[in-house]
Structure 1
Amino acid sequence: KEERIVVLETENAALHLKLAEYQVLAGRSTNEVLQLYAAHGQQMKLQRSSVVTQLHGAIKKRLKQDLKSLHSFALELSKDFQRQSKTCLYQILAAVQGIQLQNEAMQMFQIKAFDLEQSLQEVTERYEKEKQKRKALHNSLIELRGNIRVHCRIRPLLPFDDDGGRLVSQDRQRNFSEKAAYAADDETVLVKCSRPGHASVNKTFQFERVYNDLESQDAVFADVAPLLTSLLDGYNVCIMAYGQTGSGKTYTMLGPQLEGNLAFSTEEESELGIIPRATQEVFRLISEKPPGSYWVEVSVVEVYNNEIFDLLAKDSYGKVFGVKRDVVTTREGKSDVPLLTHE
C-alpha cells in the first residue's frame, strides 16, 4: 500500500507539472490572441476610416450636384412664377375692365328697364282704357244689331225628301227648292205657296240674317262668334235652334250625325256645328286672358213637356241618369234651377 501511495503521489506531481506547463502555454496563446485581435481591430479601424472618407467625398460630391440642380430648378421656378404672375396680372386687369364695362352696361340696362317699366305702365293703363272702350263699343254694336236676333237657315233637299211620296232626283232638287223657298237676299226668305186650283202666292219673311242652302257651317258660326266675346265681358248669352223635325237643327248646332247611332262625326272640322266651335272659341279667348281670370262650368239639361231633367246627375253607383229638377223664381225675379249638376 505504501508503494502504491508513493506511485500515486508521483503521478500526481507529474500531472501538476503538466498542468503548469499547459497553463503557461494557455497564457501565451491568450496573449497572442489579444495581440492578433488588437492588430485586426487596428486594421478594421483603418479600413473604416478609409470608407468614411470615401463616403464623405461621395456625399459631398452628390450634395454639390443636388445643390446645383436645386439652384437651376429654383431659377426656372422663379422665371415661371414671373411669367404666370404677369399673365394673371393681365387677366386681372382684363377682368376688372370687363367688370367695369358690365357695371356700366348694368347701369344702362337698369335705366332702360326703368324706362320700359314706365312705358309698360303707361301702355297697360292705355290698354285698360282701350279695353273698356272696346268692350263698350262691342256690346253697343251687339245691342244695335239687336239683343234678340232671329236667323233663318234654308236646308238643302236630301235624298230622303220626297214630293208627294215620290223620291226627288238630284236633277230636280234645285228646281224643287226654288219652287218651295229660297233666300231672296241675306235678310229675306221667299216662299212660293201653291195649292191645286189656286194661283201661286209668293210670301216673304224678313230676318236679321238668312243663310241659303249653299252656305257653310263657317258662315253660320261667323255671326255667332261675337256673342262669345260678350259672354266673357259678363253678358248672358243664349243660342237656340228652333224648327220642325228634320229641318237641320242638330246639324247646325252639333254637326253631321253618323248613320245608325247617336254619335257625331268630328273628322271634318269644316262640318262642326255651333256648340263644338263655340267651345273651342271660348277656350281660345280665355287663353288670351291672364291666368286664373276665368273658370268654366258645364251643365246639360233636357226640357221635355215643360219639365227639366238634369242629364249630368249620377246615382249612388256613379252612373249618369236624368233627374227631374224644379224651376224656381229668385227674389230678383229671375228663373233658376237649383241643385243642377255642374262639371
Structure 2
Amino acid sequence: IFLTFKQYQGLAGRSTNKVLQLYAAHGQRQKLQRSSVVTQLHGAIKKRLKQDMKSLHSFALELSKDFQRQSKICLYQVLTAVQGIQLQNEAMQMFQIKAFDLEQSLQEVTERYEKEKQKRRALHNSLVELRGNIRVHCRIRPLLPFDTAAEHSISQDRQRNFSETVIYATDDETVLIKCSRPGHASINKTFQFERVYNALESQDTVFADVAPLLTSLLDGYNVCIMAYGQTGSGKTYTMLGPELQENFANSIEDESELGIIPRAAQEVFRLISEKPPGSYWVEVSVVEVYNNEIFDLLAKDSCGKVFGIKRDVVTTREGKSDVPLLTYE
C-alpha cells in the first residue's frame, strides 16, 4: 500500500510539472500574440494620425485663407462705415449750422410777426373806431306768409295800403319810407345808417359786417351785438336763424341760414385755433332781461335741470355793473 501510494504521488508530481510547462508555453504564445496585436495597432494608429494631420493641415490652410478673405471684407466694411460716419458728421455739422440759422431766422420772423401783429391790431381797431364804436345797421324784412294772412283780418279799404311796400333801401346807407295816411298826401322820409340791408340780402352778408368785431374781441376789446325792433321784425332770425326747435344742432339743415350767434361762436373758435395753444379761455353765460330783472338761464336746480334763476345786479367799487353768482360754462 505504501509503495502504491508513493507511485501515485510521483505520477501526480509529474502531471503537475507538465501542467506548469504547458501553462508556461501557453503564456509565451499569449505574449507573442499580444505583442503582434500591439504592433499592428500601433501601425494603424500611426497611419490614422498621419491622415488626420494631413486633413487638419488642409483645414488649417482653408481656414487661414477664409480668415484672410473675411478680414479683407471686414476691413472694407469698417473703412466704408468710417467714411459714412465722417460724411454723417459733416452732414450733421451742416444741419446744425442750418438749424442755428433757421432758429435765428425764426426768432427774427417771430419778432417781426409780433411787431406786425401789434401794427395789425392797432390798424384794425383804428379802422373799427373810424367806422364807429357804436354803429347802427338797418335790415329790411321781406313780406312773410303771416303778413298775407293778416290781410284777411283788415277792412277792404285798408287792404291796398297794407299790401303796399312802404320801405326801400335806396343804397347801402339810406332807407326810404313812404308815409301815407288816409286823406293826406304821401310823404317820403329818408334815414341814414352805417349799413342798410335790403330784403334780399343773406345771413352771410350780414355776418360779414359783424365778423371784424370778433377779431377786436380777441384783441381785448369789449364787443356787444344787439338786435332791436318790434315783434316780428326779424330779430330772432338775424341773431339765431330760422325758428328753432329744442334740438338746435339738428334744427337747421342749411348752414347758410345760421344767424349771428352760431356763426360768431364758430368764428371765435376758428380764430383761437390760429393762436398758440392755451392763449385763450372761453366761457359763456346766458341771461334773460325781462322787466328790468335778470334771469340766469344756465343755472340749474337741485335735480340738475336748467332752471332760470333771478340774479341781482350790483355796482362795484369801480362804478361798473356786475351780476354776482352768474353761471358760466
Inter-partner Cα distance in structure 2 for 1:132 and 1:206: 34
Among 104, 114, 118, the alignment partner of 2:90 is 104
* Equivalent residue pairs, number: 320
**Structure-1 residue corresponding to 2:208:** 222
Question: Can you list the C-alpha shifts for 1:154-200, whole angstroms capped at 9, x where unaligned?
Answer: 12222222275339xxxxxxx98772222111111222222222222
Question: Can you list the C-alpha shifts for 1:100-154, whole angstroms capped at 9, x where unaligned?
Answer: 2222222222222222222221111111111111000000000000111111111
- Tell me, yes or no, if structure 1 residue 206 matches structure 2 residue 196: no
| Unaligned 5+ runs, structure 2 | 154-160
- Tell me, yes or no, if structure 1 residue 94 matches structure 2 residue 80: yes
Give the C-alpha shift of residue 247 in structure 1: 1.6
8 Å contact from structure 1 (residues 257, 263) kept in 2: no
Among 115, 139, 143, the alignment partner of 2:129 is 143
Q: 1:273 to 1:31 in 2, by over 3 A?
A: farther
**Structure-2 residue corresponding to 1:294:** 280
Give the C-alpha shift of residue 17 in structure 1: 6.0
Inter-partner Cα distance in structure 2 for 1:27 and 1:316: 136
**Structure-1 residue corresponding to 2:302:** 316
SS in 2 for 1:324: strand
8 Å contact from structure 2 (residues 299, 306) kept in 1: yes
Among 26, 36, 41, the alignment partner of 2:22 is 36
Task: Give the alignment's TM-score, normalised by structure 1.
Answer: 0.86
Specify the code of the residue in structure 1 equivalent to 2:274: E
Specify the code of the residue in structure 2 equivalent to 1:320: V
Among 12, 37, 40, the alignment partner of 1:51 is 37
8 Å contact from structure 1 (residues 228, 278) kept in 2: yes
Task: Give the alignment's TM-score, normalised by structure 2.
Answer: 0.90
**Structure-2 residue corresponding to 1:285:** 271
SS in 2 for 1:321: coil
Alignment of 1:177-188 (within 5 A): 179-188=165-174
Give the C-alpha shift of residue 336 in structure 1: 0.8
Inter-partner Cα distance in structure 1 for 2:33 and 2:82: 71
Inter-partner Cα distance in structure 2 for 1:176 and 1:17: 185
| Unaligned 5+ runs, structure 1 | 1-13, 168-174
Specify the code of the residue in structure 1 equivalent to 2:185: A
Specify the code of the residue in structure 2 equivalent to 1:66: D
Specify the code of the residue in structure 1 equivalent to 2:227: A
Give the C-alpha shift of residue 71 in structure 1: 1.0
Query: What percent of counterpart residues are identical?
Result: 88
**Structure-1 residue corresponding to 2:46:** 60
8 Å contact from structure 1 (residues 156, 177) kept in 2: no
Q: 1:314 to 1:278 in 2, by over 3 A?
A: same
**Structure-1 residue corresponding to 2:243:** 257
Q: 1:186 to 1:65 in 2, by over 3 A?
A: same
Give the C-alpha shift of residue 28 in structure 1: 3.6
Specify the code of the residue in structure 2 equivalent to 1:315: D
- Tell me, yes or no, if structure 1 residue 305 matches structure 2 residue 291: yes
Inter-partner Cα distance in structure 2 for 1:186 and 1:311: 37
Q: 1:21 to 1:234 in 2, by over 3 A?
A: farther
